[in-house]
């Protein structure tokens, strides 16, 4: 009797396993993550700039109007022919304020060149905050003050919404590199990236 019961149990297990195998769907593998192509500037994504994004597909900076200190309209096209370091910052953003002295040192180190523009753009959205931002930038010479009180520029560039964000434009006004978050912009890595951009299509000095 026990042998008969054991045989029935065994047969049931075999049949169940067969049904399970027959009804098993195909094994679906997770799709491989495909990295977006990077440009030759990817070699500068090291050390403090390890998360630097360097898209291979070059897109122009947005045709967006922001304001200078005197409330005059400014566009990125106004700086065509120069390498531009755009830094989006706000007074409510603590990392923005922390990294600003390094941006000032970066600008200071290139004051002898007229083909590099360091362009910090404040994106505070109230008149009082903008006034505080103007006072803050004034103690970080030689940085100029620019403003986007609509808080729209952080959503016009890659990495939408991240703050702070630093964007590098080449002489043709194309987005060449983007960095989201705080960094030491006076570092050797930052200088190497900027020097590489400055070397591209550099104007020939007069004979």
Beta strands in 57-181 (DSSP E): 59-60, 66-68, 73-74, 83-89, 116-122, 146-147, 165-169, 174-180
Which has the closest alpha carbon to 16: 8, 26, 4, 27? Answer: 8
This prediction has a pTM of 0.81
pLDDT truncated to tens, each residue of the chain (207 aa)?
444 444 444 444 444 444 444 444 444 444 444 566 788 999 999 999 999 999 999 999 999 999 999 999 999 999 999 999 999 999 999 999 999 999 999 999 999 999 999 999 999 999 999 999 999 999 999 999 999 999 999 999 998 788 999 999 999 999 999 999 999 999 999 999 999 999 998 776 555
């Amino acid at each position: 009797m026990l042998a008969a019961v054991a045989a029935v149990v065994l047969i049931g297990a075999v049949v169940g396993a067969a049904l399970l195998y027959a009804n098993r769907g195909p094994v679906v593998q997770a799709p491989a993550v495909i990295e977006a192509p990077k440009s030759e500037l990817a070699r500068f994504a090291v050390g403090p700039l390890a998360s630097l994004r360097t898209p291979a597909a070059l897109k122009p900076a947005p045709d967006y109007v922001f304001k200078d200190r005197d409330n005059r309209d400014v566009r990125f096209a106004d700086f065509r022919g120069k390498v531009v370091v755009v830094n989006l910052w706000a007074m409510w953003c603590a990392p923005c304020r922390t990294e600003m002295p390094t941006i000032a040192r970066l600008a200071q180190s290139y004051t002898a060149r007229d083909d590099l523009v360091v362009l910090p753009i404040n994106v505070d959205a109230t008149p009082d905050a903008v006034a505080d931002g103007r006072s803050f930038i004034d103690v970080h010479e030689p940085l100029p003050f620019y403003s986007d009180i609509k808080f729209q520029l952080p959503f016009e560039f890659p990495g939408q919404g991240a703050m702070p964000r630093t964007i590098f434009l080449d002489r043709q006004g194309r987005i060449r590199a983007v960095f989201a978050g705080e960094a030491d912009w006076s570092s050797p890595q930052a200088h190497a990236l900027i020097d590489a951009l400055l070397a591209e299509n550099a104007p020939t000095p007069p004979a």
